[in-house]
Amino acid sequence: MSTSSVEAVVIGASAGALEALSAFLPTLPKDYALPVMIVVHLPPDKNSVMADLLKSKCKIDVREAEDKEPIRAATVYLAPPDYHLLVEPDKRLSLSSDDPVHFSRPSIDVLFESAADAYGPGLVGLVLTGGSSDGANGLRAVHQAGGQALVQDPATANVPLMPQSALEACPSARVMSLPEITTFLNHLVQPA
C-alpha cells in the first residue's frame, strides 16, 4: 500500500467521540505533515467545547473550521456546531447550513463526499465510534475515489453501530483498533 501521496485525513465520530479522538490526536506531532478535518456529532448548543477540550490535549494545532479558510498541514479542523463542513475543489473549507443529513448537522457524509471529490486518491477517511449511520455513504465515496477507507473495529468501539454501518457500506475498509489507528496515522507521513 503506497502512502506517499496522502494529502489529507478526514474523521467522523459520534457517541464516544471525545474518548476515541483523545486516544490518538494527542500523539500527532506539532508539525504533522497533513491536515485533519473532523466532524463530531454534537448538540448545537454544546458550543465549541470539543475544540477547546481537544486543543488542551494536543500538540498539533486544533481549531474550529472557518468558512473559505485555506486548508493547511499540521492543523486539525473541527466542524462548528450546527454547520456542515465541506472541502472545496480548491482545497478551502466551506460551511453550509443546508438541512441536516441523517439528522445531523454537521454530517460526516457531507464532509467525506466533498473531501473525496477534492482529494481523490490522496485522502484517508476514518469512521469512529457512534450510534448513527452517518459516515457510511461518505466512507464508500472515499474508497470509490481511490482513497483509503478505515473504520474503528466495531468490537472495540464504545458504540459500534457507526463503524459497523460504514463497514457494511464499504466492505473493503480496513478495520483497526485505536492503537493501530494511532500507529497508522503517525506513519502515514515518514520524515524524509
Partner 1 sequence: MYNKTEDIELRLLLEAIYRRYHYDFRGYSMASVKRRLTQAQERFDCRSFSMLQDRVLHDPTLLPELLSFLTVQVSELFRDPSYFKAIREQVVPHLRTYPSLKVWVAGCSAGEELYSLAILMREEGLEDRTMFYGTDINPDALRRAEAGVFDLERMSLFTENHRRSGGKSSLSDYYTAGYGAAVFDKSLRRRAVFSDHSLVTDTVFAEVQLVSCRNVLIYFDRELQDRAVGLFKDSLIRKGFLGLGAKESLRFSQHADAFTEFSRESRIYQKRGTA
The verdict on whether 134 is a catalytic residue reads: yes
| Letter string b/e over residues 19-52, b meaning 16 or more CB atoms within 10 A of that residue's CB | ebbebbbeebeeebebbbbbbbbbeeeeeeebbe
Contact residues for 164 (Cβ-Cβ < 8 A; gap 6+): 154
Q: Which of these segments, 9-17, 30-38, 67-75, 173-181, binds partner 1 (CB under 8 A)? A: 67-75
- For residue 50, how many C-alpha atoms fall within 13 Å in the half-sphere facing its CB? 29
Q: Would you count residue 62 as binding partner 1 (CB under 8 A)?
A: no
What is the C-alpha to C-alpha distance for residues 189 and 192, in angstroms, rounded to an integer? 9
Q: Which three cell numbers stand for residue 184?
A: 497508522
Contact between 141 and partner 1 per CB under 8 A: yes
Judge whether 125 and 117 are in contact, CB under 8 Å. no
**Residue 165: active-site member:** no
Contact between 160 and 154 under an 8 Å Cβ cutoff? The reply is: yes
| Min dist. Cβ of residue 138 to partner 1 (A) | 12
If the CB atoms of residues 71 and 159 are measured against partner 1, the closer one turns out to be: 71
Contact between 2 and partner 1 per CB under 8 A: no
The identity of residue 17, as a single letter, is A
Number of residues that bind partner 1 (CB under 8 A): 30
Active site residue 61: no
Judged by CB under 8 A, the chain residues 20 through 39 that form the site for partner 1 are: none
Binding mask 69-108 for partner 1 (x = CB under 8 A): x----------x--xx-xxxx--x-xxxxxx---------
Contact in structure between 133 and 101 (CB atoms under 8 Å):
no
Nearer to partner 1, 25 or 85 (CB): 85
CB 176 within 8 A of CB 125: no
CB 160 → partner 1: shortest distance, Å? 28
Enumerate the active-site residues: 14, 41, 134
Binding site for partner 1 (CB under 8 A): 66-69, 80, 83-84, 86-89, 92, 94-99, 110, 113-114, 116-118, 120-121, 141, 144-146
